[in-house]
A and B are shown apart, each in its own frame.
Chain A
């Protein structure tokens, strides 16, 4: 079962950091954690992914717990353009890059 658990929705104020949590308690040692986001009326967009250690890119940071059973996507300074559905996805080893999307977290950003 590749299921991950995320809150249905979160709110943030503009210019403040946002921490989006994800639980993946059944993860295997070689499964990757991906984060994608989907803006209204658009296709999903890659945000970040990682395996064991924390990862940073221009969009966000990914903090993976030491036991790998959970992770947190960090948006350092939320903007109105970051309002989207954020999906935390566990990529199964040997899965051929087939990603299973849950319902994600709807992030609302307010002025």
Chain B
């Protein structure tokens, strides 16, 4: 049982380059989330998708776009990467009912030079 799978695990970009972070879950969860974690900080919500076909902004959405490709997959795109987007990115999924638990992927370490 893979759970939440993120690719790639590591990525280095130059300022202005674009890239897409991929996330897939195999637990048939309705909701998926993208968080970022800066050094020494807690996680901050970037975007979330409550169900297939819907997406909404979280706490720090600027500079990012998302796509809920189907129920399993939720991608995060950086159109023009900036050094301030250097961070560890985590994808999570849940059934989104009140009190449900989130399942997290192992993260993508992104460095923007």
Q: Given the complex of chains A and B, what is the CA–CA distance between A30 and B33 in angstroms?
A: 22
Chain B interface size band reads 20 to 34
The answer to whether A46 touches B90 (Cβ under 8 A) is: no
Picked from B31, B106, B107, the residue with its CB within 8 Å of the CB of A96 is B31
Knowing A87-B42, A102-B42, the reply to whether A32 touches B107 (Cβ < 8 A) is no
Contact B101 A44 (CB under 8 A): no
Q: Are A101 and B99 in contact (CB under 8 A)?
A: no
Q: Which residues of B contact A49 (CB under 8 A)?
A: 99, 101
Report Cα–Cα, A90/B31, bound state, in Å. Answer: 18
* Inter-chain contacts of A45 with B (CB < 8 A): 104
A95: B residues at CB distance < 8 A? 98
Quick one: which of A32, A43, A98, A101 contacts B106, CB cutoff 8 A? A43
Kindly supply a per-residue 1/0 record for chain A positions 83-110, scoring 1 wherever the CB is within 8 Å of any chain B CB and 0 otherwise: 0000100010111111111111000000
Which residues of chain B have C-beta atoms less than 8 A from A51's C-beta?
99
Q: Are B101 and A98 in contact (CB under 8 A)?
A: no
Cβ of B43 and Cβ of A98 under 8 Å apart? Answer: no
CB distance B42 to A97 under 8 Å?
Answer: no
Query: A residues 42-56 with Cβ under 8 Å of B?
Result: 42-46, 49, 51
> Is A34 interfacial (CB-CB < 8 Å)?
yes
B96 pairs with A96, CB closer than 8 A:
yes
Structural contact, A34 and B105, CB atoms closer than 8 A: no
B58 adjacent to chain A (CB < 8 Å): yes
The answer, yes or no, to whether B78 is at the interface (CB within 8 Å) is: no
Contact mask for chain B residues 87-113; partner A; CB cutoff 8 A; 1 contact, 0 none: 000101011111111111111000000
The smallest beta-carbon distance between B88 and chain A, in angstroms, is: 9
Chain A positions within 8 Å of B2 at CB level: none
- Extra contacts besides A44-B104, A91-B99, A97-B100 (17): CB < 8 Å: A36-B102, A43-B104, A43-B107, A44-B90, A46-B101, A46-B102, A87-B42, A93-B98, A96-B96, A97-B94, A97-B95, A97-B97, A98-B33, A99-B45, A100-B45, A100-B59, A101-B42
